[in-house]
Amino acid sequence: MIGGFVPAWKPPGMGSAEIVGRLKRTIHADKVGHTGTLDRFAEGLMLLVVGRSTCLCDFFLHADKRYSAIFSFGKSTETHDPEGSVLEERGEDESISFVSQHLDQIREWIENQIHTTEQTPPLYSALKKQGKRYSDHARAGVKELPPARKVTIYSASLTSHSGYQVTADFSVSGGTYIRSIARDLGEEFQFPVHLAGLRRSAIGSFLLNEDCWRSGEEVRIRPPHEVLTWPRVKASDAEVRSLLFGQTPRLQMPSGSQFAWIVGADGLPVAWAEVLDYGLYRVRRIMKG
């Protein structure tokens, strides 16, 4: 099964593994993967990948993303989100007053996050050290933050506020943690803050819209060669058979492209290949057979 891509909407309160499992049961697929999870409290776009196309997940794991985040002043938690143990809490009136008095400074701080080039991930994250998640280390009592890593925040703006909460939109590179922004916001103003809500609206060119699959609806799988628009190299039936037997027939590879689809007479991908120098190529994965 060549499979393909399914942009899906994950509702808040549902785990990422559950939305993957629901798609798998709906289409009776042996293999369904994803290009990045969302925390249980978060909602929005997840990009699911079906069948042999799961080998293409890496092309989107580090894709740029867009989020809308709700920062709630007056409470900080160990995980910087609604699900963690409370570290510090202030009264509602005090929190509303703080946001009202400091709104311009909060807006300025958020906008100044543009062009951030390094970020320390949160303590509770899925990043691993010695094969074990940092979140598991933390639960075992080892409170060591992951090392800082390169990220880019392309845009950041405060879009609204209500009471003790402010909403901000971000466009970021892959690997950016919005929970870390909540942590840093609280540290900057010396006032407890946590990320109360998060909505992902884009992954690369995929957008959260009415075309996204929702559990219980009919599934539309986008073929991989329509998503990754690499050049297509047509192979004869004999060349296709050679590819399926692990051979590398002589094919005319395109110049100026790192990857290419090798397609059969029906126009469907037989394999995808890495284009090398001097017209050579390396088959990265067989897609059918």
Q: Catalytic residue positions?
A: 39
Q: Please say whether the beta carbons of 135 and 126 come within 8 A.
A: yes
Q: Which residues contact 247 (CB under 8 A, 6 or more apart)?
A: none
CA dist 8 and 48 (Å) reads 7
In 1-131, DSSP assigns E strands to: 4-10, 32-34, 43-50, 65-73, 75-77, 86-89, 118-119, 128-129
End-to-end CA distance of the chain: 8
Q: Please say whether the beta carbons of 24 and 219 come within 8 A.
A: no
Q: Which residues contact 218 (CB under 8 A, 6 or more apart)?
A: none
Q: Which helix (H) or strand (E) holds 259?
A: strand 259-263
Report angle CA 218, 222, 227 to the nearest 5 degrees: 155
CA dist 50 and 89 (Å) reads 44
* Radius of gyration for the alpha carbons in the chain, expressed in angstroms and rounded: 23
